[in-house]
Chain A
Amino acid sequence: MVSKAPHVNGDAAALKKRKREPKDDAPLSLKKLRSKAKPKQQHANSDESPAGADNPDVKIAGGAVEVPDVPGSASAPDTSSSLQPIPEAGRDAPAPWKVSNPMGGRMLDLDPIFSPDEAHLIITYNTSLQVYSTADSLLVRRIPIPVSRPESGIELASAHIVSTVLSRGSLEYVWVACSDGRIWHINWITGAGADTPFTIEAKKVLDMTVESVEFGHATEDVLLVLQKLTKASGQIVAYDTNALSTKNGKLLHTYDDSPQLLRSSAGGRLIVAAAKESIHIGLLKTRNKPLERLDDLEYRFHSFGATDIITCLDIRTTFRTTNKGGSEIQSVDLVVGCARGAIYLYDDILAKLPSGSSISKASPIQPRKYHWHRRAVHSVKWSEDGNYLISGGYETVLVLWQLDTGKRDYLPHLSAAIENIVVSPRGSSYAVHLDDNSTMVLSTAEMKPTTYVSGIQSLVLGDRPSKESLVRRVWKTVDEISTPLVTASSPLHPSQIFLSVGNGQQATLGGGGPSTPLLQAFDMSSFQGVAKHAIARTNPTDANITSQGLPIIEPRVTKLAFSQDGKWLASVDEWQPPDRGVEPFLTGSKTPGDVCQERREIFLKFWEVGGEENSLELVTRINEAHYTNQPETIFDLVSDPTSSRFATLGNDGVVRFWTSRLRRRDGLATTGPDGQQLRSWACSRAVSLPAYGQQDDTAEHSSQVPRSGALAFSEDGSILFAAFGAASEAVVVAIDTSTGSFRDVVSGMFKGEVRGIKALSSCLIMLSDEVTVYDIVSDELQYSFGLKETSQAAKRLTQLAVNYKSRSFALVAPVPNPSQEKMRRGAKSELVVFSIDGPEPRLVRTFPQVITAVFPATGSTGFVVVDSAAQIWSVTEGAEQAPLLQPLADLGMADGEEAAPQDLVQDDGEASDEEMQDMDVDMDVDMDDDYETHQAVIAPQRLAEIFNTAPAFAMPPIEDIFYQVAGLFSTKPLKA
């Protein structure tokens, strides 16, 4: 394979010779063979592997990638929670690489919590609690919660947060319960308490509520925890702080139904527990003397059957003053949402309960029924005054039921299915959590959003089953990640990333791959979704299921690329009909798969990116860019780094170059409505790749062989490298982009399918089942190493990214859970960063989730990683700051936790604003006067931009720097 032939210019004879060389000349490929063979021998004893600089055989233990033995890296992959960077990867590494703390995450299907003054909104994410300011939608604090414990085995990998409840006694605390029995008591104003959970003995915690109960003269938080005993029985246990530390709760009730939900009300006087198809209501037994201890809590339970599977419930209690001056429950109204779409309302439930015997299923209580939802009711809540019910579900419609008249009001066509609804303490607004990882606060009067928080809307591996799946459905839920997340970054907006996302997690369910017709522009520095564009067909306002109840499949965006100037976006989307109901088309020997393939729609679209607001305008749509007798898959879409040009490679073995030109009609340049010149995109050159390795086969046969391919432009845009071919037979062709002629052909570099190819200076980095770095100029294999044998699903998620600024590349490979083939929950990923200079990895890290995307950070030397928990990690080199948002509170703190205790004094919800003033303590600002003004929020990389522009001796005058910094801090804060 290491050919000595000089460059050839498309000469067919020379090409053939080169191609055959690896086959004929066995010794030349020895180097490579060695690299394949050795790891197998050395698999058991990793420490013996010599880490010589000239040795291309590299490996590490435990990871998916076999990389050279590095001090410290052998233990690193398993200790995923340690956020320490790998110390000094290479001996001569100038600056160590490090991984930032993750940001973002996926909002859990739990009610968001309003702070009592409605100034803050606490949202539970899968790995953190995040506190947002409702006034400006800004992230105030992110409290990471170590949900997945590093020491835990695989069976505990599914630990997840089941409940987050605001403490009743001290309002700056929340209680967070995890399914494995850990309970955190976290001060959400300071973030303290996340490291010291209480642990209770429970097989599985299902739900938790908190009530403040008066013991003697002191009120104390009592946690009511619903625990699972067996599959079909549960118990309710009460704990107070004391009981939590001693792990001895007071068992209140045990029942033999599959338990699901637990709600309580009225200072612990009422508990409602929902089992699958029955409701248990517990009333605190009245005693003559006041409660003294936890053990005094005793409840009388009634249970009655419900007609359907319960998905959500809400209680409304009204009190009346007793003649002694205390208050007692006057009436309790219970509303229950069910999995088949009905809402049942139990009026004044206490009056209807049989007074005597405790458990009687004999006398069913007749509820009032409200049925509008087609599918499960995801959330139903009482309005503050009790006149309305607010409900929402898969239909993306917020329904307001006026109980007196039976009239319904709708807020239709929200962007995704409604997951949770919370009425604010004052009743003036609703917080609505949508399935697309966003939460908004709507004012009740105008139904206009006042706060909007949205995270990355990529697909995640869910922690617990959706409420939809309580009933058997014709579709199945997403339980694996099968394709990498398609991303692009625009040179115009270095802080933004563009992701192809679906209409929320649940809309992506259904046959085939996930549908991702939307493009989300996400700003990493403000950590907010900026915009969402439909770049393929969507039907936001039509019914989103077919008459058989199947979700309607929308196209999937498979490739995205921005042009070098950021003014154009090219996208590829694919749609193929589901393979159900294709029987009428089956003629001859066609399989349903063939039939669907024939009916595939593959579009290449070119979009013009509009000015500030990031608008996208479709300029050209190419229906079948690559076509044989049916539309062919487009393997890769790349953008020329030097001009506005794109190149695509399809399964038909043709590389097409796409350029824009003035749109002409009869020789006249057509103009838009404002007189601007219109451009359109067209194929400027098509280059057929030679079908090497298949000359012996007949043409019919070769079309059946699955092929793969990838493209990469050289850094100066003069050469396009196209890798294409059947598995293990793919060759790399260097195409002169100005003439379309072949400049060089390299074969035998791929083992298995082509996963990616990148060009970095004179080197080609090729990813298949192994990673190969090949110097194209000196025609020399630099180094290569194999990836571990994994499943097909895992291979699909191996990815490669190159950062030209730091001359490094990052390789990402999933580490599947050993017990399963697919990339389900519990799978991890490994990231290895290499420098182009040598085979020693600069960084090896195992991530606790599957990495779905890795790409170079625009304008920086690092990489950005997106994982299957919708978190973003920044991998940076040396002292460079991660281009990620820091929560406002973190910005104010000098050095992590040491600064935290001082912040405890803030008590009135304005903490965020004031804490930030720590940043400029020297200024000695009188805080009280500045109550209404926001301090400037400065992302640290902005400062880095000022200070890292040049080495110290070449810095601009100190006065200039001063004004730059002052300018940064005096700019107005972002308005929500």
Chain B
Amino acid sequence: MAAQVVPLAQLKLPLGPSPVTAEQRYWKSFKNQKSHTSTASWPISHISFPSASGATTSNSLVAAVKANDLFAVTSGPRVEIFSIRKREPLKTIGRFDSEAHCGEIRADGRVLVAGEDSGKMQVFDVGGGTRAVILKTWHLHKQPVWVTKWSPTDLTVLMSASDDKTVRLWDLPSNNPSRMFTGHSDYVRCGAFMPGGNSNILVSGSYDETVRIWDARAPGGSVLTFKHADPVEAVLPLASGTTLLAATGNAISVLDLVAAKPLRLITNHQKTVTSLALASNGRRVVSGSLDGHVKVFETAGWNVVSGSKYPSPILSLSVIPTGATQEDRHLAVGLQSGVLSLRTRLSGAVADKARARAAEEAARDIGPEALEKLDLQKAKRKRKALTNKSMAMLGENVDVIIPTEATNATGGRKRRIKLKPWQRDFREGRYGAALDEVIDMSGPEYQPVTALTVLVALRHRSALREALEGRDEVTVLPLIKWVGKYMSDPRYVSVCVDVAFHLLDIYSEYVGGSADLAEQFQMLWGKVSKEVEKAQMAIITTGMVDSLMIGGIWDQ
């Protein structure tokens, strides 16, 4: 019956021109950047992690992928193997004669394949030992091999693409390619297996500005060709198997394979797009470009949902998932400057653990008392968990278990909302004190919108003057400063004007006695004059535009 005491609701201001969206928050949560510079600052040309897809993939393979902890980073004549969990390099494969390309770990995490400038393709064992053993070498390509990829479904099948304009399909035991696709008229710099099917369908992109689809079952050349205006730098088939992305020059083209037509051209980047990657279980696409921008697209309307800037041109990127749900963990970006940037998003239990560690560190900084308090809290939580657990053990003999804590109807713990000091002051009518607390711009919890909330609430309660009255020089100055700071914000101006009027009305008589006060009022006057000037300029501009518009109407 009785209403519950709730804190003052924060004012909801109109959204600004670019409000922070949930998606942006998500991509912002990739933090804890860890930079790893490659030997001799070789540019990071490729980042890959094992993945398995397709309906025919065996369960054990999927399980192996989920348990995987490795990803490979190719830079110069080296392929480095990193641990996903530790974000640290585990081992380095340096047995290349020239620059390495496209180091790819197989889905089961045992072997790695990489091509190199000499045209060689090598398969390494990454399982045990610090030195990787070469398991297989092919030297059939006569030009640098840019693409070596494992089939997502078949452990022994892999593909390669080379500057010799060919795309080849290999079987691991045999020394010759099982199929060679010719048709490209320039370097083939990117390629991939299409998901689904039995690793029969391949896609490749070339500097001849075409994207070609190859079918191993069909004799002859490509089954489908898309011609673009720029060399193709990257191709990325979506999980559906019917849509394909190709990075050509500054643009990314979205190709529909079923309708055999381009769907869209995404032109958000300013320079050549170098790499594409899937994220969020295939619901987002991440692109990196030489302009140093990483952009995240949603896959329905291909709108940019988020983006970030890196200090150097981006050559490669990947969003590395972990765990059973394959949720995004690292955003790995390889830069021209040789820096591998790893940004990590923690979630669930991992995040909890990280938070606990941070709290402990903070407490340690404060002093032993805080540490003790933290320990007490921890012990209490543990005890409670134990009690509830032991109650659950009793479950066999009893009918009803009553947990130690009362729960409300929704199942959550019923807890009184604890009011913050300013909220309590406000509720109990100490308006001046509440206002002092929220306009303290140096305070740890300072937020301008909270101050605005309080001021508007004071106006609603006709208590604005009451809160401003009876102050001395020390307490009135922050108010004037605050008003001066936010006077120019259109969302704050109305309240600022009211406060300023009241302040002038109450305190103008003391200006003569206080230099500080006089200075602050002077500052306020300056700000207001500037705003008036701006407004006049705006009016003049409006007038000019209006006269132009009228002129336009007359012309018609």
Contacts and interface: CB of A to CB of B under 8 A. Distances in A.
Interface of A: 411-415, 440, 442, 447-449, 537, 539-543, 546-547, 550, 552-553, 575, 577-578, 580-581, 583-585, 599, 621, 623, 665-668, 670
A666 B3 contact: no
A238 B274 CA distance: 104
A275 to B, nearest CB: 36
Given A665-B23, A666-B23, A667-B298, A541 B3 contact: yes
Interface in B278-294: none
A696 B459 CA distance: 41
Contacts of B494: 599
A731 B341 CA distance: 68
The 6 closest A-B pairs by CB, nearest first: A667-B303, A584-B505, A667-B301, A413-B3, A540-B3, A584-B501
A581 B1 contact: no
Interface string B1-18: 111111000001010000
B548 interface: no
B22 interface: yes
21 contacts: A413-B5, A440-B1, A539-B461, A541-B3, A541-B5, A542-B461, A543-B429, A546-B466, A577-B459, A583-B505, A584-B465, A584-B501, A584-B504, A585-B498, A599-B494, A599-B498, A666-B21, A666-B23, A666-B303, A667-B302, A668-B305
B462 A665 contact: no
B259 to A, nearest CB: 21
A583 B498 CA distance: 11
Contact of A621 (B12, B22, B459, B505): B12
Interface string B444-485: 000000000000000111110110000000000000000000
B427 interface: yes
A774 B340 CA distance: 78
Contacts of A447: 1
Which of A539, A550, A584 is the most central at the interface, judged by chain B CB atoms within 10 Å of its CB?
A584
Highest count of chain B CB atoms <10 Å: which of A546, A668, A670? A668
Contacts of B427: 541-542
A543 B301 CA distance: 51
A552 B460 contact: yes
Given A448-B1, A541-B5, A547-B429, A552 B303 contact: no
A604 to B, nearest CB: 13
B14 A623 contact: yes
Nearest to A587: B501
B21 A665 contact: yes
A575 to B, nearest CB: 7
B111 interface: no
B300 interface: yes
Contact of B6 (A541, A546, A623): A541
Interface in B385-423: none
B502 interface: yes
A543 B425 CA distance: 12
B463 to A, nearest CB: 6
B374 interface: no
Contacts of B461: 539, 542, 546, 552
B304 interface: yes
B395 to A, nearest CB: 31
A543 B2 CA distance: 15
A413 B4 CA distance: 8
A546 B2 contact: no
Given A541-B6, A668-B300, 5 more contacts: A413-B5, A541-B4, A542-B427, A550-B462, A666-B305
Contacts of B14: 623
Interface string B295-315: 000101111110000000000
Contacts of B12: 621
Given A580-B462, A665-B23, A415 B3 contact: yes
A621 B463 CA distance: 25
A467 to B, nearest CB: 22
B184 to A, nearest CB: 35
Contacts of B4: 413, 541
Contacts of B298: 666-668
A584 B502 contact: yes
Contacts of A581: 462, 465
Contacts of B301: 667-668
B6 A547 contact: no
A665 to B, nearest CB: 5
A414 B465 contact: no
A546 B462 CA distance: 7
A540 B4 CA distance: 9
Contacts of B1: 411, 414-415, 440, 442, 447-449
Contacts of B466: 546-547
B505 A578 contact: no
Contacts of A411: 1-2
A602 to B, nearest CB: 13
A539 B6 CA distance: 10
A139 B526 CA distance: 68
B542 to A, nearest CB: 13
Contacts of A670: 22
Contact of B2 (A413, A552, A665): A413
A583 B20 CA distance: 41
Most buried by B among A585, A666, A668: A666
Nearest to B502: A584
Interface string B335-372: 00000000000000000000000000000000000000
A541 B9 CA distance: 13
A588 to B, nearest CB: 13
Contacts of A666: 21, 23, 298, 303-305
A575 B462 CA distance: 12
